[in-house]
Structure 1
C-alpha cells in the first residue's frame, strides 16, 4: 500500500516535470525560467538565482548508499531562501539516524532548520538570510527514491505576516504565529525561534493563548520545543497541538528552540507565547544548602523504598485501564539506564488511550518515550512487545511506576483492548 502510494506520487511529479518541459517557451524565456528537468540530479552543487530545484543523486531512481551530498543555495542579496519539498522518500527511522536530509540557514555554522526522513513532507522552510545549505547523507543500506525540493527567493516581509522565527536573546519577550491575533495562521509555513540566554541562566517559557489544528498525534500542524539550538528528537521536550496551552517549560541549559509548522490544509487561530531568563539556582551559602538538601532527602526515601519492594503485577487490563493516563501497545526499540531508572523509546503498535503522552511521528512510524522509575520493576526489555499503561509527566514522557500495569503483548489482547477503548471511564 505504501509502495503504491509512493509510486503514484512519483509518477505524478514526473508527469508535472515533463509537462512543464513540454511547454517549450521561447529562447529568452528559457533562460529566465528555471524548471526541474525530467532527468537524474547530481550529488550536491552550488546554486544561485531567484529559484530552482534540487534533488537526490539519481532521482527518480533509488539514491546510492554511503553518500554525502551538499547543496549551497544563494538567492539575490536582500532576499531570504524558501525551500519547499515536492517529494521525499528516505529510509524511515524515528530519529532519522540512517538516511536523512539536513537543512541549514546560511552556508557555514548556521542554525539547523530541520532533519527529515521517511515520506512525510515538511512545510516550507525559511532561512534568515539569502543563503541556505542542504545536505543529504545515506548509510550502507538505502531504501527509497530520495527527494525533490524547490528553492525560491522572497522578500523578508514579502510573505506578509507569514514571515516568522529568528533569534531571541533579550531578557524577556514574546513570539507568535503569523497573522496573530487578527486572523488564522497561514498554511504551509515553518517558524523556528531560537531563544538564547547568557551561559549562567535558564529560560522559562509559557503560552498565553494556544489553538493549533487538533490531531491525536499532532501530525499536521504542531509546536515542538527542543532543549538546545537545533531540531533534534533526542532533545525534544514536547510536541503540541489542539486548543489547550502546553504546560510551562524550563530549559535544561541556556538555549531553547521553538518550532511551529503548518501543513497545506486546515489552519486555526494560532498562539502567543512568552519567555524570560532566570538565573540557575545554585547554593552559595550554608543556609540555602541546608534548605535545598532537606526536601531532596525526604523525596528520595520513598523512591528508594518503592524500588526495594517486591515487584509483582496486580490487577488486570480492565481494572487498570481507567486509572492510567495512557494505554499503548508497542515494541521497545531503545533502552538507556540513568541512575536507578530506565529510559526507553517505544515504537507504537496501537494507541488505546493517549492522555498527554507526547507521540512523535517519522513517516508512518510513531513512537513515545517512557521512564521506568525503578529500572527492574516492571522489567522492560529491548526488542519485546508490551501493553504499557502509566501516567504522563509534564514533558509528555510516560512514567511507569511499580504499580503501573504492563504485560507482554499478544495479538489475542487486541480484542479486549478495543473493547476498553470504547469504555466510559
Structure 2
C-alpha cells in the first residue's frame, strides 16, 4: 500500500493550512476554505489504494477567526511543556457569541488551580473571566457575552498532563439551547434562567454567565422568583454567584447561593453585574428563574430596620475614610466583650472565607456562624448558609487570617458592610465564648 506525506505548513488549532504530498508527485495546499477538496482528495487517494493518517499539530496560542474551530494545548495529546503561557484569541462574526466546550482536560490538579490552569475570558481585552479550570474536571459549555473569547493556559515547572482539547462555535446571543446559557443583557429589565427551565432539571456540567450592563448613572436590582440549586452548607458544588462589575473577583462578590430558598434581592454598587451559575457533574435540581431591573443610583433600598430598644444607641457613625496617622498608631483592642457589645451596630461570629488587601484596607467575606446583633448589616442567605462583607479599615489592625473563626463587633457603612476600626472589638472565637455572647444577646443595652 502506498503512502502519503502530510505536513503542517502553518497548522493552527483551526487547521488553517495543510500541505499534502502524494506519491505520484506534486503537492496540494489546503486552507480552511478547501475542506471539501480535502475530502475529495481523501476519496481519490482511497480509490488508488493510498492510505494516510494525519493528526493536527497544536501550537502555543494564536488568533482564530471563523464560525467554528478546534483548540488544543501545545503538543496535545502529548504532555504540555513546563513554564509556558499560551494565549488563544477567538473571534466569530459580529452579532454572535462564542460557545466553547472542552472535550478533554488533564492539567495538574489543585483545589485552587494555582499551578497549571486554563482561564477563559468573555472577550479579548478587559473582559470578565468566565472560569479557571485545572485537574480533570470538564466544565460545561461557556458562552461569551460578545463575539470574542480568550483562553490562557499557564503551566509551572512541575507536574504536567496531556493538556486540553476544546471546540468553539458561533451562536446567536439569545439562541435557546439545552446545554448553554448566558450572555450580555443591556435592556432596562429582563429575565435569566437555567437551561431547561421550567420543563426539567438543569443539566450537569454547565457554566452560565450573564453580564448585565446599565447606564452609568444607574444601579441594578437582581431578584429570584424561583430557586432550587443542589444544597450544600458551603455551596461548594452547584451554585450561583453574583459579582459587582464585569469579572469574577472574590473581593467583589455580592453573594454565593444554593439550596431551595430564593435569596433576598440584591443591588449592585455600580452599573454592572456578573451572574455566574455553575453545576458540577453529579446531582442536579429544578434550577431558577431570576429577574433584573435598572434603578436610579439614589433608589431607596428597603431593609429591615433593627429592633428598637429602651436605650437607643447614640454612638457616632464611623467616617468612610481614616487618616494614615490613625492606622500608624499602635494596634490595641479596647475594652471587653461586655463593654463593646452595646456600642456596636453589629455582633457576629464567623469564618473568614476570603480576605483581600485593597488600598490601605482589608476586604473580607465572612461565613456567619451566629448572629447576636444584626443592626443594619447586609446578610446574604442561601439555604442555611449566611455570609456578609466586612472591611478592616486599617488592613493590619486588627489582623485577620483566612480560614479562622472570629468574633466581630463594629459599625456598618451605607452599603450594609461591616466596618472595623482599630478601636473596635475583634478576637479569635472559641466555643467557650458562646455562652457569654448569648447572655449579652438577651441583655438590654
Note closer, same or farther for the CA distance 1:61–1:313 as it changes in structure 2 (3 Å cut): farther
Q: Secondary structure of 1:205's match?
A: strand
Name structure 1 gaps, 5 residues minimum: 1-25, 283-297, 316-322, 360-367, 408-412, 421-425
How is 1:274-313 mapped onto 2 (pairs within 5 angstroms)? Answer: 274-281=291-298, 301=316, 303=318, 311-312=334-335
How is 1:147-186 mapped onto 2 (pairs within 5 angstroms)? Answer: 147-153=163-169, 160-186=177-203
Does the CA-based 8 Å contact 2:392-2:398 persist in structure 1?
no
Note closer, same or farther for the CA distance 1:196–1:311 as it changes in structure 2 (3 Å cut): same
Deviation at 1:213, TM superposition (A): 0.9
CA separation in 1, counterparts of 2:381 and 2:408? 13
Partner of 1:254: 271
Partner of 2:376: none
Note closer, same or farther for the CA distance 1:78–1:231 as it changes in structure 2 (3 Å cut): closer
How is 1:334-373 mapped onto 2 (pairs within 5 angstroms)? Answer: 334-336=356-358, 338=360, 342-344=362-364, 353=369, 371=390, 373=392
Does the CA-based 8 Å contact 1:100-1:115 persist in structure 2?
no
**2:88 pairs with 1:70:** yes
User: Which has a greater percent of helix?
Assistant: 1
**2:391 pairs with 1:379:** no
Deviation at 1:171, TM superposition (A): 1.3
Partner of 2:226: 209
CA separation in 1, counterparts of 2:98 and 2:362? 44
Does the CA-based 8 Å contact 1:81-1:129 persist in structure 2?
no
Deviation at 1:268, TM superposition (A): 0.8
| TM-score, normalised with respect to structure 2 | 0.58
Note closer, same or farther for the CA distance 1:405–1:128 as it changes in structure 2 (3 Å cut): closer
CA separation in 2, counterparts of 1:152 and 1:28? 27
Does the CA-based 8 Å contact 2:82-2:160 persist in structure 1?
no
Q: Secondary structure of 1:178's match?
A: coil
Deviation at 1:151, TM superposition (A): 0.9
Partner of 1:136: 153
Deviation at 1:390, TM superposition (A): 4.6
Q: Secondary structure of 2:100's match?
A: strand
Partner of 1:101: 118
**2:140 pairs with 1:123:** yes
CA separation in 1, counterparts of 2:45 and 2:282? 33
Count of aligned positions: 341
Does the CA-based 8 Å contact 2:220-2:294 persist in structure 1?
yes
Deviation at 1:72, TM superposition (A): 3.6
Note closer, same or farther for the CA distance 1:325–1:43 as it changes in structure 2 (3 Å cut): same
Larger of the two Rg values belongs to structure: 2
Partner of 1:15: none
Query: After superposition, what is the alpha-carbon deviation per residue over 1:222-241, rounded to whole angstroms, capped at 9, x for unaligned?
Result: 11111112233333222211
Name structure 2 gaps, 5 residues minimum: 1-40, 47-52, 300-312, 320-325, 339-345, 372-378, 436-445
Partner of 1:406: 428
CA separation in 2, counterparts of 1:168 and 1:258? 11
Does the CA-based 8 Å contact 2:86-2:154 persist in structure 1?
yes
CA separation in 2, counterparts of 1:313 and 1:30? 87
**2:266 pairs with 1:244:** no
**2:240 pairs with 1:223:** yes
| TM-score, normalised with respect to structure 1 | 0.60
Specify which structure has the bigger relative contact order, considering alpha-carbon pairs within 8 angstroms and separated by 6 or more residues. 1
Note closer, same or farther for the CA distance 1:309–1:379 as it changes in structure 2 (3 Å cut): closer
Does the CA-based 8 Å contact 2:398-2:426 persist in structure 1?
no
Note closer, same or farther for the CA distance 1:171–1:370 as it changes in structure 2 (3 Å cut): closer
Note closer, same or farther for the CA distance 1:403–1:30 as it changes in structure 2 (3 Å cut): farther
Deviation at 1:271, TM superposition (A): 1.0
Query: After superposition, what is the alpha-carbon deviation per residue over 1:156-211, rounded to whole angstroms, capped at 9, x for unaligned?
Result: 58873444212211111221112222221222222211111111111111112111
Q: Secondary structure of 1:276's match?
A: strand
